[in-house]
Structure 1
Amino acid sequence: MRLDPDAFPRYTDYDPLVPVWCVTPGEGRCIHRFFDTDPVSPSGRYLAVLRLPREDRLNRPGEAAQVVLIDLQTAEQRVVAETCGWETQLGANLNWGPDDMLYYNQVDTATWTPHAVRLDTKTGQMRRLEGGVYRISPDGRTILSAAPERMRRTQYGYGVVLPDARVPRNRGLAEDDGLYATDTQTGERRLLVSIREVFERAGIAERDYASGECYGFHCKYNPQGDRLLFTMRAYRTDDPQPWNRIAQGLDFWVVTMRPDGSELAVAVGPDQWRKGGHHINWFPDGERLSMNLAIDGERRLDLAEVQADGSGLRPITGLPGSGHPTVHPDGRHILTDTYEREPAAFGDGTVPLRWIDIQAGTERTLVRVNVANPGTAVSSALRVDPHPAWTRDNRHIVFNGFVGGTRRVFIADLGSML
């Protein structure tokens, strides 16, 4: 990564264990995407963030946010696009492809149709692609996404916002909704696997959910690009317009498969997830998954691992889980944050970035940062999660905070810890 440390102010609150720079020191209201996505361009020169129009309420249909590129050499900030295809947690799902191509969600407000955009950051040329953006493949050829307009049915913050009447509803096990794949060369989208197909092929008891509603949510390629995961969420309700159903309880599945949809298996299902759990991710080896999971059912979250086919579920370490964990390629360390009200937080609105040594069974606080946002009194989807994400050099991390009364993005150098 081509960061000039003299171009940005140092973050020194609470005496960080590693060097940290605030890379959005001016206007603020900025977030990077998520803990599983490198927000720095393949060239290492630019950081992509989304600047929210405001921080005290959820966005409304047709309300635009700014896609901002930050030059990590000069600290110049440049607004390269505006988009109505965003929410408050993952923004517009900014994903870098090869050659500094940037992909993100947009909504055509004339027809209220979500679609993807490919932006050539060198020329400014934009191309419209079918479907939404959640994660792009390592080779940049395929974009995975569930239906972003339907995500608000199960949880606010992760998809796009349309007028309520325009949001489709899945009654029963949908044959026309599920996990989609968009070809970045042709711009065409296809349904890779439907929700009904997942149930049938994975052997999930359909009778338990046929009278409810089921929606797709997270999807991710492994680092090698030869497996992917897809999460589904189901509930039952008589509400004529159900929204944010996570507050009332959901059943969750993590399903893995090959990129062509073959070798489909349930890695974690509702029986285990009901004990408590969140935030699944791939191990660097591309064969195992990591997540926070209450394995023993005592509601204490473990940092857990499981094979892609659901076998081998076990704790990674005896330390409690929290936040958004990732396993470093060295196989020895885990990086994670915490939610503001998780036990590992400090209780005053600040949270640690936890650096866990698996072999030694120890942890240290790399950085302590404030995340308390007064806007959470309006909606929990306005919370500020650090979402610490590794850059391609596996040395630097990018994370969010709420500092100086606004959302800001930071970069830390973990070279001394590796």
Structure 2
Amino acid sequence: MSPSGRYVALFKLPYENVSPKAGDAGQVILVDLKTGKEKVVAQSRGWEVQLGANVQWGKSDHELLFNDVDTLSWKAFCTVLDPFSGKKRHLGGTVFMASSDGRKIASYDLMKSTYAQVGYGVIVPKKLVKRNFGADQKDGITVIDINSGKSKQIVTLKDLYQTTIPSIQFKNSNDYEFYCFQIKWNPQGTRLLTTLQWAPVKGGPRKRSVITMRSDGSEIRTAITPEQWEKGGHHVNWTADGEHLSMNLNVDGKEGLELIEVKYDGSNLKTVFTPGSGHPSYHPKGLPLIITDAYPNESITARNGIVPIRLLNMASGKEENIVEIFVSKIDGEFRIDPHPAWDKTGRYVIFNGYINNTRNVFMADISEWLLKQGFSLK
């Protein structure tokens, strides 16, 4: 949703059941929530199935951000587009996530993202993409100032692996491939989190760790160790205070996951709701509410392709399903995650679904529910 709240930007895949091919273009769509009209404002060749072209907003409605690829040079970059005038410019790197104030973007090498997990990067001819053997000294996290275009790599994979505290180092690390997977700003724009993952070059299970840092790459800390994650877990995010992270994690050794909070340095881990599931997102105004969904195979579902959008109240320990949505039983690259998220006001919940044999995006206005529960958005 745009900074003014009037527009929603979406990405339309050119096809939904085939892996993307280098050079194939999808559409960037602008929806006017006041009139209900939508229009195509751009095309992009920098996409994959799960996140599209990472379409999001800068500091105003006149800055729409998305990834694209130059098919002559096969370089990937972030486009900054004014969707009303059509004026655009290219930044010197890709976007995974823009900061909450819309002034900076952060990314890692999204062309290599397919080696970490299919669906979250951009596609170029595979022969052009080198794998990372060992913790690479060139691949890493880059932050770009949207206004000036100034770009800086704040850490390399080698920095993350060798300097994070507590240490995650192990023997024979050069026999493993290392990659970042996802990079997320905290709401204040002061810290970043990423997942560092590694797997044996010759094949075998991967291991993962959640690592945080200041926005300049300093104070690198291990929030979740590989030993903690391998017991079972998924989907990490920041909480509203910008000091803590949330994650679905097995912390009691029993079947199923708990929704936990942990400080950016790995301390003060605690369970905040049971059971955990899906993609938890904390209310942006600090209300004791979490919106989440579930994967179709998680125990809280009927395993029939229909999943709940769960509204969790941490203060009362109660939950309510605001809707149940069909996402199909498709797994892997082509799965449909509802992945609910709040808008910045905390009034709307936006999520995906699969209706009429195609992917859809839905918005739910829960302001009346919030008022009935005694919550205020002022």
Q: Which range, TM-score by smaller chain?
A: over 0.9
- TM-score with structure 2 setting the length: 0.93
Correspondences of 1:80-119 after superposition (within 5 Å) = 80-100=41-61, 101-119=63-81
Does the 8 Å CA contact 1:275/1:299 hold for their aligned counterparts? no
- Structure 1 position 44 matched with structure 2 position 29: no
Does the 8 Å CA contact 2:296/2:305 hold for their aligned counterparts? yes
- Structure 1 position 408 matched with structure 2 position 360: yes
Q: Distance in 1 between matches of 2:130 and 2:118?
A: 15
Choose the corresponding residue for 2:141, options 175, 179, 190.
Answer: 179
The match for 1:21 is: none
Does the 8 Å CA contact 2:60/2:102 hold for their aligned counterparts? no
Correspondences of 1:373-412 after superposition (within 5 Å) = 376=330, 380-412=332-364
The match for 1:169 is: 131
Greater relative CO (CA pairs within 8 A, separation 6+): 1
- Structure 1 position 264 matched with structure 2 position 220: yes
Q: Distance in 2 between matches of 1:123 and 1:323?
A: 38
In the TM superposition, residue 264 of structure 1 has moved relative to its aligned partner by 1.2
Q: Distance in 1 between matches of 2:300 and 2:99?
A: 33
Q: Distance in 1 between matches of 2:291 and 2:158?
A: 36
Correspondences of 1:8-157 after superposition (within 5 Å) = 40-100=1-61, 101-157=63-119
The match for 1:210 is: 174
In the TM superposition, residue 338 of structure 1 has moved relative to its aligned partner by 0.7
In the TM superposition, residue 187 of structure 1 has moved relative to its aligned partner by 2.3
Does the 8 Å CA contact 1:107/1:113 hold for their aligned counterparts? yes
Choose the corresponding residue for 1:301, options 253, 257, 265.
Answer: 257
The match for 2:315 is: 359
Does the 8 Å CA contact 2:59/2:103 hold for their aligned counterparts? no
Q: What root-mean-square deviation, in Å, do the aligned CA atoms of Structure 1 and Structure 2 show?
A: 1.5
Q: Distance in 2 between matches of 1:122 and 1:293?
A: 44
| SS in structure 2 of the partner of residue 207 of structure 1 | coil
Corresponding letter in the other structure for 1:207: K
In the TM superposition, residue 163 of structure 1 has moved relative to its aligned partner by 1.3
In the TM superposition, residue 299 of structure 1 has moved relative to its aligned partner by 4.3
Which deviates the most, 402-411 or 357-366? 357-366
Moved over 3 A (4+): none
Correspondences of 1:228-377 after superposition (within 5 Å) = 228-238=192-202, 249-317=205-273, 319-328=274-283, 329-372=285-328, 376=330
Does the 8 Å CA contact 2:195/2:209 hold for their aligned counterparts? yes
Q: Distance in 2 between matches of 1:343 and 1:257?
A: 34
Q: Distance in 1 between matches of 2:150 and 2:314?
A: 43
| SS in structure 2 of the partner of residue 304 of structure 1 | strand
Does the 8 Å CA contact 1:279/1:292 hold for their aligned counterparts? yes
| SS in structure 1 of the partner of residue 159 of structure 2 | helix
Identity value in percent: 42
Per-residue deviation, residues 390-415 of structure 1 (Å, max 9, x unmatched): 11110101111001111111110111
Q: Distance in 2 between matches of 1:277 and 1:332?
A: 22
| SS in structure 2 of the partner of residue 231 of structure 1 | strand
Does the 8 Å CA contact 1:63/1:84 hold for their aligned counterparts? yes
Structure 1: 5+ residue stretches without partners: 1-39, 240-247
| SS in structure 2 of the partner of residue 148 of structure 1 | coil
Does the 8 Å CA contact 2:305/2:327 hold for their aligned counterparts? yes
Does the 8 Å CA contact 1:227/1:257 hold for their aligned counterparts? yes
- Structure 1 position 222 matched with structure 2 position 222: no
Structure 2: 5+ residue stretches without partners: 371-378
Does the 8 Å CA contact 1:179/1:230 hold for their aligned counterparts? no
Q: Distance in 2 between matches of 1:401 and 1:97?
A: 26
Q: Distance in 2 between matches of 1:215 and 1:299?
A: 29
How many aligned residue pairs are there? 366
The match for 2:122 is: 160
In the TM superposition, residue 206 of structure 1 has moved relative to its aligned partner by 4.7
